[in-house]
Structure 1
Amino acid sequence: MATRTTTRSAELPDADELERLKLSPEVAWYLRDRGIPLPDCPPLIQTPSPGEAPGAVFDPDRVDKVIKAFSLLRHTQGQWAGQPLRPDPWQVAYILAPVFGWVRWDDDADAYVRIVRELYVDVPRKNGKSTLAGGLAIYMTCADGESGAQCITAATTKEQAGFVFEPVKKLAEAAPALKRHVKPLKGVILHPKSGSYFKPISSVAGAQHGANIHCAIIDELHEHKTPELVETIETGTGSRRQPLVVIITTADSGKRESVYDRKRQRVEKLARRVFEASSVYGVVWAADRDDDPHVEETWRKANPGYGVSPTRSYLQSKSDEAKQSPADLAKFLRLHLGRRTKQETKFITLESWHCNAGLVDESKLAGREAYGGLDLAATSDLLALCWLFPDDERGGFDAIWRLWTPEDNVDALDQRTAGAASVWVREGLLVATPGNVADYDYIQLQVERDLDAFDVRSIGFDPWSAVPLTNKLAESEAPMVKVRQGFVTMSPPLKELQRLLLKGTPERPMFRHGGNPAVTWMVDNLAVAMDPAGNVKPDKARSAEKIDAVSAAVTALSEAMTREQPVKSAYEDGGLEVV
């Protein structure tokens, strides 16, 4: 049975150092206790420790078992050929120990099972991805205690699938300890004792065959042009008690809406705690955008295996090549420094957003002056209404949102938010309307209730969307105002929103939004377009995901900025002074 380790604080680095290294006390204890050096190469991005999950228990014996299984294998190439495959300290610290060590009790299985069901490792080339993938594949096939384990490696073509499978096959063939236990054949590795196998697949049909996957290794995620194969694999693990989908990849160039982009964005959001999913664990090694790409410090930061693989001389030669042309530089940044070369700087940061959370008590907004913004463009997805309430005493605005989605869309939203959408529905932050398209009657009734409750001065809306609804509201004497979504109209309120958020502090927030998690998710998705004159507007096409709540807020702010400012006493603003 799994038992929680006891950590002896005197033997561990202090809390600040553990935070810098991005190590939990349990994993740090394990490394020290097993004589493994603490690595000084923390990932740039890391999701929360699986140990934060309810009921989490750290079982060091499980990690020992994985490392022992790795050591039975033998390197097949290069200077280490024939030597035992021992995971590097960084691989133990940031991958093997968190994934295999953290478990919790499962009543259905009547046993402890792994918390992590999906592992995402994003690391530059030459950092031992193939060797790590091979060790994981053989362990999950032969040593994870699973009968009839169906383990696969997935790629978009047979040739590409072979790039992952063949090194695993060679590992199995070269390991003396495995000769009596596994049968490496042309297209499959068999483990007769447990009835398990490991084989490559390159199609949705291959993933569907059997549909009872225990482990899947997906290499170079950015090579997958469509999400179908990856999604089929994930749904094929549903009947296993502790499956593991492993994604090991290098960065892409920054293309939006690809399967890589969706997975990478989810890991980044989990790391920023936009939402929670303890079954997903991800690490990303990369250089920051401001790092000098041609200095050793940056190479070391982006490459956890630096000095062993890749070597300093190898990266020096690639850096020298990168100085010759912009194309070579882009390739160097992506493949060897983990940089998504087309990635954009956030216009609104989560740090500034969180600083302005502020408490908003809707019961105290009755009768307050209000300005609305409607975003109704996506009738089959999310729709949003934002109300802004100017506060002349404290400055800035109080903000609340009404969010709707068709009931049939909640499952799809769950997949994109790690299950958070269902929580938003339960908590009343998101209203699920019947059917598969927007029910405008729900929205009209809510707007009419709000018109009765608040002193609504105007409601801005995009004249190109939801014309029947906005016409109905106008006929009922709602103060509807057309707000076009171009640069000229959107730039002033979007820049004002940014200014208010940057000006606000936790003690004196200027755009008080109550920390609504559904809106926070959309704020984190925001990308902006910019014209040659420096004007900006929300860009739904380039945003990582839905931004409807932000668009609604900007439209509402466009209306609020038209209000006449209250005249202050000269004594209030310091214009007169009695001496």
Structure 2
Amino acid sequence: MRDYTRLEDQELYNEGYQYLLNVKKDEFLSNDDSFFYSRQIQNGTIPSCDYVKYAVEREERKKQDPNCPYYFDPLPGFKFFAFCRYFDHLIGPLGGQPFILSWWQIWVFSQLLGWKHKTGPHKGKRSYKIAYLECPRGSGKTAMMALFGLYMLTLDDEWSPEIYVAATKREQANILFGSVLKQINYGKNKRIIDHLKVAFKRDTILCNADKGGTFKSLSKEAKSFDGLNIHCALVDEIHAHPSSEIWDVLNSGAAKRDQSLMVAITTAGTNFNSFGFSYSSYIKKLLQGLHDQDPVFKDDSVFGCVWTVDSGDDLYSPLTWQKANPGWFSSVNQETIKDNILRTKAWPETKAETFTKHLDVWYSASDKWLQPEYVYACNDLNVPETHFKDDKCIIGVDLAYAEDMLVYVKVYEKYNEEDEKYHYYVYPEYYTPSINLTKPENTKYVDWVNRGLLTKCDGDIIDLETIQKKLEYEYEKGNVFEIAFDRWNATQMAQSLQNRFGADTVYYVDQSMGNLNDPSKLFKTLIIEKRIHFHSDIMVWNCLNCYAKMNNTGLIHVEKESTSSKDKIDGVVACINALSRWMEHGIEFAEPCVWRT
């Protein structure tokens, strides 16, 4: 086997390129080149983020498991790699050079095409039905997926395969489709194109071989996609998809075949309420769950890999740039990346565009209150609430929108001996009326309910008596010593709880700027310093929807972008209510931390 003996550099990459330029099938297979990339990830010679490590670990674990229901066939991956070598790059600095897949691309397509069912009705068929690939701009996504679509049309041994590339806008879909057309029309490719019996007619690429096939570009309204019988769908720049409508219709069309593939390819984006962000979050949860061997996160039909940075990485370090960019030595312009990233120090307004495109970091607009990299780092709480059964808790409550979403958060304070500071541990309980799950704009609500992050309540509005009973139950467990309410929509409940538990237990939190300024600023400080911890995608969503209104004396108030916005901040508001009460008590209730965060 060939392996790097030092950290990958341009010289090592070039040596590998020369090897791949000429390697024959027997040597490729004997060297186990399908897994060369994964070996380098595991031995650290190619820098990578945790999600890449987890994706590699997943595939390696299957190789080592004699009870794995799938077997690995290296031939399809080599076949696609060899297919690509017949073509040239047709754009940019690499134009005119042979199209040699990089090690990371070989690994990806080897996994997609190579894992097959050992037994059962799908014996010998591929196990993966869906692939999600997220990496920075310049990684060669479009060119490689164009050739993959052409391969699936002509050489995947499927009768009348239907191949589609889809995007939210025609212009975007046509970028990838146009890349296929360039290969078909490139004079040097005439011999192989004739051999494949491929031709372009009107708006369709046709395969005129015995098994036939069509390749089209789609970008109309999702309803126009009905009736498709998809063998392979390439969904481009999924970060730009506001909803799952297009994906769902295509996925339904792909369910009609035994070996269909849905492939999402994208960079990170800035819309945290989009389907793209939701899917990215799911893939990351899946990879993390597989790494943790959590049985909840097991989906053998989905392959995912995300090339990005890790929490705490120095975004201005060249090693971080290399880690996030799998095409660092093959396809990206290193100087451009360096210049653009360093420029953000003096021009912070460019961070969103630069970090999403060059480092694959989901990044909010600069006028939002909290930046994503800090929020994500705090979404790390993996300790069950029972660890705090002997500790005091303050509950913060926000009942502002009984017709949409309500929340109370349980906030524990603990002294951490490692950094000698107080940390806060948040366990939110979110509720929504069941009618909300039927609204097309609330697809993320359905996902949250299915994952146990959101509780649905019968009817069109949340019965506040249900929430009151929940709070009574929380108090009677013994460690809740205060419940903090915003007066809005809560007077009757708060009075009832005061009558039962005492006015020294149930408090109204004044929502004026003067009163909320300090706990709001504390919340942001805790986020930045990673001293507040939770494990909830809804809380992440709430954090990323926050804006700060400042008056002329410098006091701030956390709010939504506008009163009409559908984006919610309820969990943050409830947290700030609880923090305001913790601040009243100082540190007298906290004890040294008995476990490490």
Same structural fold, with TM-score higher than 0.5 when normalized by the shorter chain: yes
Deviation by residue 1:131-172 (Cα, 9 ceiling, x = unmatched): 112112112323334434332112344444332212212324
**1:433 is aligned to 2:448:** no
1:188 paired with 2:204, answer yes
Structure-2 separation of matches of 1:191 and 1:283: 33
1:526 aligns with 2:543: yes
Aligned pair partner of 1:89 in 103, 108, 126: 103
Q: Distance in 1 between matches of 2:584 and 2:343?
A: 55
Q: Which amino acid aligns with 1:46?
A: Y
- Following superposition of structure 1 onto structure 2, how do residues 92-103 of structure 1 map, counting pairs within 5 Å? 92-93=106-107, 95-103=108-116
Match of 1:176 among 185, 191, 216: 191
For 1:450 and 1:100, locate their aligned partners in 2 and report how far apart those are by CA, in whole Å: 51
Partner of 2:395: 372
Partner in structure 1 of residue 450 of structure 2: 422
My pick for the range that moved more, 130-139 or 283-292, is: 283-292
Summarize the alignment of residues 504-543 of structure 1 with structure 2, pairs less than 5 Å apart.
Answer: 517=535, 519=536, 522-523=539-540, 526-527=543-544, 529-530=547-548
SS at match of 2:584: coil
- Three-state SS of the structure 2 residue aligned to 1:245 is strand
Matched, 1:120 2:120: no
* In the alignment, structure 1 residue 444 sits paired with structure 2 residue 468: yes
- CA-based RMSD of the aligned residues comes to 5.3
Count of aligned pairs: 529
Q: Is the CA contact 2:396–2:577 (under 8 Å) kept in the aligned structure 1?
A: yes
Q: What corresponds to 2:214 in structure 1?
A: 197
- Is 2:411–2:578's contact at 8 Å kept on the other side of the alignment? yes
1:54-65 matches, cutoff 5 A: 55=69, 57-65=71-79
Conserved? CA contact 2:393–2:482, under 8 Å: yes
Other structure's SS at 1:132 match: helix
Shift of 1:87: 1.2
Between the aligned partners of 1:359 and 1:305, the Cα distance in structure 2 is 42
Alignment map for 1:325-364 (pairs within 5 Å) = 335=357, 340=363, 342=365, 345=371, 354=380, 357=383, 360=386
1:259–1:415: structure 2 CA closer, same or farther, 3 Å change rule?
closer
Distance of aligned partners of 1:108 and 1:539 in 2 relative to their CA distance in 1, 3 Å threshold? farther
**Contact 1:45–1:271 (Cα < 8 Å) also in 2:** no
Q: SS of the counterpart of 1:198?
A: strand
189 and 291 in structure 1: CA distance in 2 versus 1, 3 angstrom threshold: same
Quote the residue 2:233 is aligned against: 216
Q: CA deviation at 1:281?
A: 0.8
- State how far apart, in whole Å, the 2-side matches of 1:355 and 1:325 are: 33
Distance in 2 separating the partners of 1:64 and 1:333: 34
Please name the residue that 1:139 is paired with.
Answer: 151
Identity over aligned residues, as a percent? Answer: 23
Name the residue aligned to 2:331. 309
CA distance 1:539–1:13, change in 2 (3 Å)? farther
Distance change in 2, residues 1:283/1:396 (3 Å) = closer
Distance 2:510 2:432 in 1: 23
Q: 1:216: how far off?
A: 2.0
Give the Cα separation in 1 of the matches to 2:412 and 2:313. 38
TM-score (norm 2): 0.68
Does the CA contact (< 8 Å) of 1:104 and 1:115 recur in 2? no
**Residue 456 to residue 357, structure 1, CA distance change in 2 (3 Å):** closer
Q: 1:197 to 1:435 in 2, by over 3 A?
A: farther
* Residues 120 and 282 in structure 1, CA contact (< 8 A), matched pair in contact too: yes
Please state how far the C-alpha of 1:534 moved relative to its aligned partner.
7.6
Aligned to 2:174: 162
For the Cα contact (< 8 Å) 1:72–1:175, is it kept in 2?
A: no
1:461 and 2:477 matched: no
Runs of 5+ unmatched residues, structure 2: 9-27, 63-67, 593-597
Provide the residue aligned with 1:129 in structure 2: 141
Q: Does structure 1 conserve the Cα–Cα contact (< 8 Å) formed by 2:162 and 2:215?
A: yes
1:404 aligns with 431
SS at match of 2:126: strand
Change (3 A) 1:452 1:316: closer
Instruction: Give 2:450's aligned amino acid.
Output: S
Change over 3 Å in CA distance of 1:331–1:240 after alignment to 2: same
Alignment partner, residue 574 of structure 2: 552
Taking structure 1 as reference, are residues 188 and 448 closer, same or farther at Cα in structure 2, changes over 3 Å only? same
The equivalent residue for 1:21 is none
Cα deviation 1:206-246 (Å, max 9, x = unaligned): 75232433322233445556664344434443444443333
Secondary structure of the 1:87 match is coil
Question: How far is the alpha carbon of 1:337 from its aligned partner?
Answer: 5.7
Report the Cα offset of residue 488 of structure 1.
4.3
**Contact (CA 8 Å) 1:451, 1:478: kept in 2 or not?**
no
Contact preservation (8 Å) 2:271, 2:364: no
State the Cα distance separating 1:198 from its structure 2 match.
1.2
Q: When the two structures are superposed, what TM-score results if normalisation uses the length of structure 1?
A: 0.69
User: Which residue identity is paired with 2:147?
Assistant: G
The CA deviation at 1:360 is 1.6
